[in-house]
Amino acid sequence: MTDEVLVAARGGVLEVTINRPEARNAMTKSAAEAIGAAMDRLDADAELRCAILTGAGGMFCAGMDLKGFLRGEFPVDERGGFGGICTWTPNKPIIAAVDGHALAGGMELALACDLIVANVDAKFGIPEVKRGLVAAGGGAVQLPRLLPRPLAMELALTGDAIGAVRAFELGLVNRVTEGPAIEAARELAEIIAANGPLAVAATKGIVRDSWLWPVEDINTHQNPYIAHIFTSEDAKEGARAFSEKRKPEWKGC
């Protein structure tokens, strides 16, 4: 794996760090592929419950590496698209821990995660139009799904950035912290990791996918996500632990 991405397991949480601080963690093809590989590890390892994606050197990601782009390189993974996760997501949750700038593809990368924790000084934006480009890594598609259309249109057409507090007010960011975002992200990850892993994965899938489901077909679409949950050992363990007033011991089956 390239040293452009650092991967470490910590208490059931896989921490994935974009490690190009000298280039403001701009995304390269090798980094995108490494992030995709880390997410495969997340799904394959039963001991891992969720992931945190962050950047080294007080910066999340400044987007596509433009020097690589001028050489004809696109920072995409064959399956996951930009940054390895913008067109595909693992079954388990990902938390973006954003310090500094999450701009262009960096914002798209954050939006591709399931939750976002940001330092109060962080900035978010898709300035592609300022460079004659389009936010085609998910920004132009995801923002109008997450924001009122006029607000999404303003961010996309002006290319201007907004601060973490404004992003929080708009519902794009889950938590804003005075300290390093990774610390608050670890707290959130610990809460998620303590829950039933099968239930967490199924719930993520439903929340992410259900916006496509017609109301009359919700149960039909939801059933494949939950059919195994209520007969699982974890479901029985959860009920037993509740009645016995103790922490559950999840088996992931």
CA distances 141 to 126, 152, 153, 167, 185, Å, are 12, 9, 11, 17, 26
* Active site (annotated) includes residue 4: no
* Active site (annotated) includes residue 108: yes
Annotated catalytic residue: which of 108, 190, 233, 237?
108
Q: What percent of the chain has pLDDT over 90?
A: 74
Query: Domain containing 144: what range?
Result: 5-193
For residue 179, pLDDT over 90 is answered with yes
CATH code of residue 108:
3.90.226.10
Residue 140 lies in a domain: yes
Report whether 97 contacts 78 (CB < 8 A). no
pLDDT for the residue 1: 53
pLDDT tens readout for residues 190-213 = 999 999 999 999 999 999 988 878
- 158 and 238 in a single domain? The answer is no
Number of domains the chain contains? 2
pTM score of the predicted model: 0.91
Annotated catalytic residue: which of 4, 15, 33, 128?
128
- 105 and 89 in a single domain? The answer is yes
DSSP letter for 194, please: T
- 174 and 236 in a single domain? The answer is no
pLDDT for the residue 14: 98
For residue 215, pLDDT over 80 is answered with no
CA 56 – CA 27 distance, rounded (Å): 13
- 100 and 225 in a single domain? The answer is no
